[in-house]
Structure 1
Amino acid sequence: MKNKDIIYNGLKKYFGFDTFKGNQEAIINSILSGKDTFVLMPTGGGKSLCYQLPALLMEGTAIIISPLIALMKNQVDAMRSYSEKDGIAHFLNSSLTKAEIEEVKKDIVSGKTKMLYVAPESLTKQENIEFLRSVPISFYAVDEAHCISEWGHDFRPEYRRIRPIINEISPRPIIALTATATPKVQHDIQKTLGMTNAEVFKSSFNRPNLNYEVRKKTDQIDKEIIKYILSQGRKSGIVYCLSRKKVDDFAEILQANNIRALPYHAGMDAATRSSNQDAFLMEKADVIVATIAFGMGIDKPDVRYVIHYNIPKSLEGYYQETGRAGRDGGEGKCIAFYSEKDLQKLERFMQGKPVSEQEIGKQLLLETAAYAETSVCRRKMLLHYFGENFDLPNCENCDNCLNPKIKVEAKELLITVLEAITALKEKQKAEYIIDFLVGKESSDIETYGHDQLEEFGSGEDEEESTWEVVIRQALLDNYLKKEIENYGILKITKKGKDFLKNPVSFKITKIDEDEDDISDLESEDSDIMASGGVSGGAADPVLFSMMKDLRKKLSKKLNVPPYVIFQPSSLEAMATSYPITLDELQNIPGVGSGKAKRYGKEFVELIKKHVEENDITRPEDLRVKTVPNKSKLKVSIVQAIDRKVALDDLAESKGIDFNEMLSEVEAIVYSGTKINIDYFLNEVMSQDVIDDIYAYFKETEKDDLEKAQEELPEYDETEIRLVRIKFFSELAN
């Protein structure tokens, strides 16, 4: 019987299919002919079958190295469902008893087992190495192979040891499979597994059915996500959060709002985690709130939306996680929420790690930030990241293509960038090149003597953000490329060199300016919130304007700056949800019971009158119902301040850094709770300093920390924030 007949008969017999998808047949032929094989195939493309079918057809047992116990169980259950005998597939990991391990070994020795799933940790145990040396092995499959690379989104150091262990057991062909790998990661995987001569099969990373959207993260995010999930009825979805605590908290919030949601993260006990996963697969739950631990290899075809509560730390992670939507080819909505604060948090997580790891992490974060902030087609940018060109001008299924921004000519700017890179001998990364262009005199630039070059400062007339856009677009249009071995260093391509000799039109997206003002209603009072974030715009500009007039009138009467009464972001939220009672007003961000009682009466009367006169149907009362103990930390901070506990000691006892402690205290006073931190101020600052900063806040027209630092250069940020807390507490609450 010919090879072709054997594999088609096997496909029909074991899996019930008549035809293969994409590269599957060629990949299986490569393994059957004993070649090392590298498979790059997006989620839902049918990677598992590429090693499952050859394992069933070949002599001996295939060793499948897989990173997660839950994933192994899922795959083994699936394989057993295709066969009459359970022994056809087994896993070997820490969840098994000694008796179960003996049963597995017996089935392998008898030749029943065609596939053995192992975690890399189990593979390195001496007793397992010795056992596997005694049995015939058909080939090794390394699933989720991106875990090998430090540049991959889910690096596992134990994956680095796979090749030496394979050599120790019995060298056989290797198939490495991953759903996400940049050219850099692919190179790293092949080098580490000693398979640089492997046959490479790369499928397109384009998932046309997925809609990509990035939204600015505001303090209304919980409400926004709940509204979206409720609008989806009983469709299946995943919400990814950065921390385990956030997963638990947000799952509870969704449950409190009548959404069938369950949490999933590595900190839960195995039984609960497995039970929650099964509930989602069996449609007893509609939403899983998870860390990235959830989803690897989970074969649920009808996930209709994937929401990222926090922007992920790499584009590979983002692609992998969004890839869990619409695996059946149907609708798949991918919404990511992005804020600078999340980016800073991810950077903080890297502190304390080895310098090389921090450098890698920083580069990956820069790519993610570029994706979140870009105005070009998101699909084009994602595919470019994975080394694939997308030539259509408009993908018609991402927020930037559906709402395109204005393009402007930037031919001269690209010439300036290419000349700067040439002057720097193509040895620098984007951040360095931008510093060089704008003439920033950093220690590195001076050390290398680059400040003496003619091109230094040649781009000082443009903002750094403009140069970021030019470089990003030049990479997408293949005028520049990033070197694979030394990640991040920019090189000029042949197309870029041709452009320098004969420049052609080159367009970039126009950068929006003056985004600080809500509806341009009153330029003197910008919408930059206390946190420094830009507001998203009020739903009812007429009401917003009336409330600002009322706030101004009250500020004159009470002799306090307008922002002390209500922050612009709070007014904006009022002009969106129309609170008409003091209780409803307390659901507005930044309005606690103290502030509502002190200033709220006239505002809710104004809103009520406006609603009645204009016959406004208020939005459905979708209030994010919180769950008990949500404000436990804030309550304990207020109690500790009442006991006069020093704020630095308090931060240490809560396991947070001092800046985070200040942010918590700021949130407490902004929501209207009155506290007294004089005992701490008097210990760490002189009365003159306190009086000087206090007077500044009393006179300024808007609450802007950056502006305060500019106006008060002799004081550091911490001193200014501490006095601002005292000021707010005394005058606003």
Structure 2
Amino acid sequence: MSIPSAAADPISALREGDAGQTDAALEILSRVFGYDSFRGDQAAIIEQVAGGGDAVVLMPTGGGKSLCYQIPALLREGTGIVISPLIALMSDQVAALEAVGIRAAFLNSTLDLHEARAVEQQLLAGELDLLYMAPERLVLPRTQDLLRRARLALFAIDEAHCVSQWGHDFRPDYMGLSVLADAFPEVPRIALTATATEATHRELTERLRLQGAKHFVSSFDRPNIQYRIVPKASPREQLLRLITSEHEGDSGIVYCLSRKSVEQTAEALVARGIPALPYHAGLDAAVRQDHQERFLRAEGLIIVATIAFGMGIDKPDVRFVAHLDLPKSIEGYYQETGRAGRDGQPSTAWMAYGLGDVVNQRRFIDAGEGDEQFKRNARSHLDAMLALCETVSCRRAQLLRYFGQDMGEESCGNCDTCLSPPETWDATVASQKLLSALIRLERERDQRFGSGQVIDVLLGRENERSAQSRHQELSVWGIGTELTEKQWRTTIRQLLARGIIEAEGEYGVLVPGAHAGPVLRGEATVELAVDRAPARSTRSRSARSGGGARAAEGLGIAERDRFEALREWRTSVAKEKQIPPYMVFSDATLVGIVEARPTTVAQLGEVSGVGAKKLAEYGEDVLAVLPAASTD
């Protein structure tokens, strides 16, 4: 093991029994990774896998999943094999491990034959602690033969939800990983994911043949993320206001549904002086890779992307994730928003959502490929996503309930519906008028329309289609003038989400939905939310000289000066080493250094996130920066 010599004793302590193994794990946690204690189920998971047992781990992004296989791989004899779909990120994952003194490598299609052979020789010689590879490589007979000739510590199956055939991120190659149960029966396996409903949990357990594994399910709550969903007006202008008023200089991710929207949004941000890059499948592969690497290495850069971007992104200081279009599922939304605030610092998950999102998503499902079962599954995912958008109760509670977890009756205090509870109104009569208009148009004129023409009929507004079809003669003409056009659009959007009306076909024509009958008969009341002005964050904004100020908000003026000096030093080191700044030290660690005000290397080593290798490599430089930045 290529960790500091002081960590050698814990490895031999493994053979002393459970107490020795626990002490060894804690020693590695402290000496290698620079942390004093485990969080949540980490210690129990490590004990299970280090002892040779299998595990299924459901833990939120930023919860420390990687330590759950990295430490057992260091404790056990041999090399830990990490199976990941993220070829584009393996180089950075390996660099992060090497930065703390762990011997790591990857085998994927980016290596030429000579480089791949060199890695294979390292594996066979026992010179690697961790080896990353993609699932399609692992299932090859040649790869399995190579692994049989090596000494293996464990198999870690990352992003294990990808094996779920009906999930949001299915990867067919993951189906072949069940072979590990027979091919390597003595090697412990750990499957990890941050995104799994109870159904996905059962499916991945069955498909990976982990029925005998011990299961660890942590809370999916990310309390540092503030969830906010606003009515869509001019989404790019709304995004600009979010960035300039709350996240100027911060790193962030903006998700759009189409490549065209990605390009236009990135251009709009750049035109306003905000550094941004596009990322989508239509770009050349080399350009995509360059944009991803620049995002990981730069501070204060925004990436505008389709959902193809971000899985496995380990950038801890992403301060906001914004959606300009509705995600297809809560799983996708949770995974995407989870890329914010991995360092535990306050972050924002913001989305602009409107009527067009609902109509477009339903049209995509109806017109898409796949059998009826696939489409039913897609509609179910969308219905759950719409329910989250339209809820008048705590968004965090609804999000957790979807994953089978209950946070009780208390409000979270950190989502828009808790910070500014929405006003509701009795929309029963308005709903009946809308349904009556849809029924009259079809029965008396054999016509179906999208929302625009239906609203014109309700408001009694004449247009060419109304004149041609004599809509003025209908009994429903002009019966909805108590609401404005904007209010009718809000009403239609919410009724679509509840299944009281539905949008059908290529043009999204409106028809009564499955739940329309009781409303028309007066057997059910309809309470809807009033669209409100966009909620503003309750967090204070500190004066900043760039990104990273959110992490330093609690610091005094002199302390913030030291924090900024450390950030400048970190940036120069990262550029010299050609690694992301967070691989030197995270913002949270820099804050810890500023607050501790160490004057010796030993004192610096007590700060969380400062492991032995980083202490030896950077300790003297950090101590030199601190007094130079002092103003008090």
> What's the TM-score once normalised by structure 2's chain length?
0.64
- Cα distance in 2 for partners of 1:315, 1:36 equals 28
Partner-residue secondary structure (3-state), 1:334: strand
1:64 to 82, 86, 93: 82
Partner-residue secondary structure (3-state), 1:213: strand
| Pairing of 1:574-585 with structure 2 (within 5 A) | none
Match of 1:21 in 2: 39
| Pairing of 1:488-507 with structure 2 (within 5 A) | none
Match of 1:213 in 2: 228
Match of 1:164 in 2: 179
Give 5+ residue unaligned stretches, structure 1.
Answer: 408-508, 517-529, 535-560, 565-668, 670-689, 708-715, 722-733
In structure 2, do the counterparts of structure 1 residues 533 and 230 end up closer, same or farther at CA, with 3 Å as the change threshold?
farther
Partner-residue secondary structure (3-state), 1:205: coil
- Cα drift, residue 348 of structure 1: 3.7
Match of 1:646 in 2: none
2:386 to 352, 369, 373: 369
Partner-residue secondary structure (3-state), 2:228: strand
Given that residues 264 and 276 in structure 1 are in contact (C-alpha distance below 8 angstroms), is that contact kept between their aligned partners in structure 2?
yes
Match of 2:49 in 1: 31
Larger radius of gyration: 1
Can you list the C-alpha shifts for 1:64-84, whole angstroms capped at 9, x where unaligned? 110111232221111111127
- Cα distance in 1 for partners of 2:327, 2:296 equals 24
1:42 to 52, 55, 60: 60
Given that residues 250 and 300 in structure 2 are in contact (C-alpha distance below 8 angstroms), is that contact kept between their aligned partners in structure 1?
no
Given that residues 262 and 285 in structure 1 are in contact (C-alpha distance below 8 angstroms), is that contact kept between their aligned partners in structure 2?
no
- Cα drift, residue 32 of structure 1: 0.9
Match of 1:682 in 2: none
In structure 2, do the counterparts of structure 1 residues 364 and 31 end up closer, same or farther at CA, with 3 Å as the change threshold?
same
Give 5+ residue unaligned stretches, structure 2.
Answer: 1-12, 14-19, 433-448, 454-459, 493-503, 510-632
Is 1:401 the counterpart of 2:413? The answer is no
- Cα drift, residue 339 of structure 1: 2.8
In structure 2, do the counterparts of structure 1 residues 401 and 282 end up closer, same or farther at CA, with 3 Å as the change threshold?
same
Can you list the C-alpha shifts for 1:316-368, whole angstroms capped at 9, x where unaligned? 11111111222222221111222343234333444221332222211111111
Can you list the C-alpha shifts for 1:441-482, whole angstroms capped at 9, x where unaligned? xxxxxxxxxxxxxxxxxxxxxxxxxxxxxxxxxxxxxxxxxx
- Cα distance in 2 for partners of 1:28, 1:207 equals 22
- Cα drift, residue 295 of structure 1: 2.2
Partner-residue secondary structure (3-state), 2:66: helix
Given that residues 394 and 417 in structure 2 are in contact (C-alpha distance below 8 angstroms), is that contact kept between their aligned partners in structure 1?
yes
Amino acid corresponding to residue 46 of structure 2 in structure 1 = I
2:163 to 125, 148, 172: 148
| Pairing of 1:441-590 with structure 2 (within 5 A) | 532=451
1:355 to 363, 372, 391: 372
Aligned residues: 447
1:246 to 261, 266, 277: 261
Given that residues 132 and 169 in structure 1 are in contact (C-alpha distance below 8 angstroms), is that contact kept between their aligned partners in structure 2?
no
In structure 2, do the counterparts of structure 1 residues 78 and 266 end up closer, same or farther at CA, with 3 Å as the change threshold?
farther
In structure 2, do the counterparts of structure 1 residues 512 and 326 end up closer, same or farther at CA, with 3 Å as the change threshold?
farther
Partner-residue secondary structure (3-state), 1:387: coil
Match of 2:242 in 1: 228
- Cα drift, residue 13 of structure 1: 2.9
- Cα drift, residue 512 of structure 1: 8.5
Given that residues 130 and 169 in structure 1 are in contact (C-alpha distance below 8 angstroms), is that contact kept between their aligned partners in structure 2?
no
- Cα distance in 2 for partners of 1:130, 1:346 equals 46
Amino acid corresponding to residue 351 of structure 2 in structure 1 = A
- Cα drift, residue 90 of structure 1: 1.4
Match of 1:610 in 2: none
In structure 2, do the counterparts of structure 1 residues 381 and 698 end up closer, same or farther at CA, with 3 Å as the change threshold?
same
- Cα drift, residue 197 of structure 1: 2.5
Partner-residue secondary structure (3-state), 1:197: coil
- Cα distance in 2 for partners of 1:388, 1:59 equals 37
In structure 2, do the counterparts of structure 1 residues 510 and 696 end up closer, same or farther at CA, with 3 Å as the change threshold?
closer
Given that residues 181 and 209 in structure 2 are in contact (C-alpha distance below 8 angstroms), is that contact kept between their aligned partners in structure 1?
no
Given that residues 64 and 118 in structure 1 are in contact (C-alpha distance below 8 angstroms), is that contact kept between their aligned partners in structure 2?
yes
Match of 1:91 in 2: 106
- Cα drift, residue 257 of structure 1: 2.1
Given that residues 60 and 194 in structure 2 are in contact (C-alpha distance below 8 angstroms), is that contact kept between their aligned partners in structure 1?
yes
- Cα distance in 1 for partners of 2:104, 2:86 equals 16
- Cα distance in 2 for partners of 1:369, 1:15 equals 41
Given that residues 58 and 217 in structure 2 are in contact (C-alpha distance below 8 angstroms), is that contact kept between their aligned partners in structure 1?
yes
Partner-residue secondary structure (3-state), 1:159: helix
- Cα drift, residue 296 of structure 1: 2.0
- Cα drift, residue 165 of structure 1: 5.1
Can you list the C-alpha shifts for 1:356-409, whole angstroms capped at 9, x where unaligned? 2222211111111111111111011011111111114322211211222468xx
In structure 2, do the counterparts of structure 1 residues 89 and 511 end up closer, same or farther at CA, with 3 Å as the change threshold?
farther
| RMSD value, Cα | 3.5
- Cα drift, residue 272 of structure 1: 2.1
- Cα distance in 2 for partners of 1:91, 1:25 equals 27
Is 1:693 the counterpart of 2:468? The answer is yes
